[in-house]
Amino acid sequence: MIKIGFVLFLLLVCCSSIDVEAQGVATQKGPAIKESTRKPVAVTAAPEECLETFRQFFRYVQRTEPSIVKDETAQKRWLSNNLREALKKKLATFTDSANDPDFPGNGTFVGTWDSPTTFTIVGSRRYDKRAVLDIWYTWGKGTNYPGDTRLSYFVFVLEDSRWKLDDVYTFRGEYASAESLNAYLTSK
């Protein structure tokens, strides 16, 4: 009786693997995605207009007023359509903005609640209609994180013939989690 059960089990396993192979799942060998050695776009440094847009935007969000959250003109000037929509979604999740410490503000776009002492543009890349600026933050004496550093990527897109912020990616640091601004704004 045990031998019959074992034989039936083997038949079941064999039939299952034949079915999987017939579907092509188990027959694949090697990587499914092939590497292309030919680059589809030219990679260059971000254009000066993009760097200047970042500098103007960054000066703006370092102040508490006017708030980019309420200033639709500033939003249209510096934020991509995608990021403006994400901001609207986040704002819709708040019922009492005046008393909620998590309500977005200009600091949300800097990516840290305790402002760094300095920032440096340490690199940039342009990929067709997208540019990435590598921003290095440093906290000095008198801050909550003296000696700390952090890297953030400010991602811009060329939209309506202007460079506009599409996302900010903050890398994990000693005092910070890795985070995407766009993902934060679209989360509930």
What's the chain's Rg over C-alpha atoms?
25
62 lies in a domain? Answer: yes
The CATH number linked to 100 is 3.10.450.50
CA-CA-CA-CA dihedral for 68, 160, 84, 76, to nearest 10:
30
Tens place of pLDDT for every residue, the chain, 188 residues?
A: 555 554 444 445 455 544 444 455 556 677 789 888 888 888 999 999 999 999 999 999 999 899 999 999 999 999 999 999 999 999 999 887 767 888 899 999 998 888 999 999 999 999 999 999 999 999 999 999 999 999 999 999 999 999 999 999 999 988 889 999 999 999 87
| Residue range of the domain that includes 165 | 43-186
**Tokens 């601004």 sit on residue:** 181
Total structural domains in the chain?
Answer: 1
Q: Are 150 and 127 in contact, with CB atoms under 8 Å apart?
A: no
The answer to the question of residue 137 being in a domain is yes
Please indicate, yes or no, if residue 12 is contained in any of the structural domains. no
Q: Which helix (H) or strand (E) holds 44?
A: strand 43-44
In a domain, 180, yes or no: yes
Q: Does some domain include residue 36?
A: no
Which two three-digit tokens encode residue 188?
A: 């509930």
- The answer as to whether 11 is a domain residue is no
Domain assignment present for residue 86? The answer is yes
Question: Would you say residue 27 lies in a domain?
Answer: no
